[in-house]
C-alpha cells in the first residue's frame, strides 16, 4: 500500500500470482479430500485413533494453510505498485500479537494432549490376554515380521544366514526355528505385542 494509504494498483503479475495461489489451494484441498494417495488399509486396532489424531492435525494445519495462502494471493493481486511508492512500516501491535500467540499456543496444547491420550492408552495399558509377541525388523521401505511357533518360542537368528529369501537370518536347524516363521511386508496379528529392532541396509 503506497505510503500506507490509498487503494493500491491491480497489476497483471499480481493477478497471475493470485490465480496461482488459488490453483494451489484447490489442488491441495482436492488431494486431501479425494485422497487419491493415502494411508494403506489399517492392520491394527491401534490405527484408527492414531489416524484420527493425524486427521485433526491435518485439518488445523490445512485451515492455516488455506487462510495464509489466500491472504497472500489476495494482497499481492490487489495491492500492486507502480515502482514509485514508498512502503509504510510499523513495528508491533501488542494486542494482535497476544491473540495470535495465545491462539496458536492453545491449539498446539490441545493437539499435544490428543496425541498423548492415544499414546498413554496403548503404551501404558495392560496387554490383552491373547496377546502374541512378534519381533519386527525395520528396513528402509520394508518390515520383516518374525512370528513365534505354537509354543511361543522364537527360532534363533544369525546375521550370517541372511539372504534374499531368509531376510532375518532364521536358523532352520534350531529346534524352535522349525516352527517359527517370518514374513516380509506383512501385517502382524491384530492383537500383538511387537518388539522392534533395526537392521543396517
pLDDT grade, residue 148 (50/70/90)?
Answer: confident
Domain ranges of the chain: 2-89, 132-198
d(CA 115, CA 102): 20
Query: If you search the block for the grid coordinates 479430500, which residue do you land on?
Result: 33
3-state secondary structure of 89: coil
* Cα-based distances in Å from 65 to 5, 54, 109: 28, 16, 19
The per-residue pLDDT for range 74-119, each reduced to its tens digit, is 988 887 776 666 667 777 788 888 998 999 999 999 999 998 988 8
pTM equals 0.62
Does residue 1 surpass a pLDDT of 50? no
d(CA 71, CA 74): 5
The side-by-side arrangement of strands in the sheet containing 132-139 is: 181-184, 142-147, 132-139, 192-198
The per-residue pLDDT for range 12-25, each reduced to its tens digit, is 888 899 999 999 99
Contacts of 153 (CB under 8 A, 6+ apart): 176, 179, 180
Mean pLDDT across the stretch 140-157? 81
At residue 64, the pLDDT reads 92
Q: Which of 31, 29, 32, 9 is nearest to 21 (CA)?
A: 29
d(CA 114, CA 133): 27
Mean pLDDT across the stretch 32-45? 84
Q: What does pLDDT average to over the chain? A: 79
Does residue 200 surpass a pLDDT of 60? no
DSSP string, 40-66: PPP-STTHHHHHHHHHHHHHHHHHHHH
Amino acid at each position: 500500500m503506497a505510503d500506507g494509504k490509498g487503494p493500491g494498483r491491480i497489476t497483471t503479475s499480481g493477478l497471475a500470482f493470485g490465480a496461482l495461489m488459488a490453483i494451489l489451494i484447490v489442488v491441495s484441498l482436492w488431494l486431501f479430500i479425494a485422497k487419491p494417495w493415502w494411508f494403506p488399509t489399517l492392520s491394527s486396532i491401534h490405527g484408527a485413533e492414531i489416524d484420527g489424531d493425524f486427521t485433526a492435525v491435518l485439518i488445523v494445519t490445512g485451515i492455516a494453510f488455506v487462510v495464509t495462502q489466500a491472504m497472500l494471493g489476495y494482497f499481492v493481486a490487489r495491492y500492486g505498485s507502480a515502482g514509485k511508492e514508498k512502503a509504510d512500516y510499523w513495528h508491533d501491535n501488542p494486542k494482535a500479537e497476544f491473540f495470535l500467540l495465545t491462539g496458536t499456543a492453545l491449539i498446539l496444547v490441545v493437539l499435544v494432549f490428543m496425541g498423548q491420550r492415544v499414546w498413554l492408552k496403548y503404551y501404558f495399558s495392560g496387554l490383552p490376554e491373547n496377546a502374541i509377541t512378534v519381533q519386527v525388523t525395520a528396513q528402509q521401505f520394508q518390515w520383516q515380521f518374525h512370528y513365534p511357533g505354537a509354543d511361543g518360542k522364537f527360532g534363533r537368528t544369525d546375521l550370517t544366514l541372511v539372504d534374499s529369501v531368509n531376510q532375518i537370518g532364521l536358523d532352520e536347524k534350531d529346534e524352535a526355528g522349525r516352527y517359527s516363521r517370518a514374513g516380509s511386508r506383512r501385517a502382524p496379528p491384530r492383537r500383538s505385542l511387537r518388539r522392534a529392532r533395526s537392521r543396517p541396509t
